[in-house]
Structure 1
Amino acid sequence: MSTLIDLAGVTKVFGSGAGAVHAFGPVDMTIEDGEFISLLGPSGCGKSTLMLMIAGLLSITKGEITLADRKVTGPQTDIGIMFQDNTLVPWRTVRGNIDLQLEMRGIDPASREDDVEELLRSVHLQDFQERFPHELSGGMQQRAAFCQAMVHKPKTMLLDEPLGKLDAMTRENIRKDLQSLWMQKRPTVVFVTHSIEEAIQLSTRVAVITPRPGRIERIIDIDLPFPRDFDVKSSPEFTAYVRETQEIFRNYGVI
Structure 2
Amino acid sequence: MEKYKVPTVLSIAGFDGSGGAGIQADTKTISALGGYAMNVLTALPVQNTQGVRNIYDIPTQAVKDQLKAIFEDIYPDAIKIGMVHSVELVHCIHTELIHYDGPVVYDPVMVSTSGHQLIQEDTIAACAALLFPRATIITPNLDELGVLVNKNIQTVSEMEVAAAQLIGNGSQAVLAKGGHLASSQLTSLLLQKNKAVQAYQSLRIDTRNTHGSGCTLSSAIATFLAMGDALDAAVPKALDYVYQALLSSKDLRIGEGSGPLNHFHNPKKLHIYELEQ
Larger radius of gyration: 1
- Which structure has greater helix proportion? 1
Q: TM-score, normalised by structure 2?
A: 0.31
After TM superposition, the score normalised by the length of structure 1 is: 0.34
Higher relative contact order, chain-length normalized (CA < 8 Å, sep 6+): 1
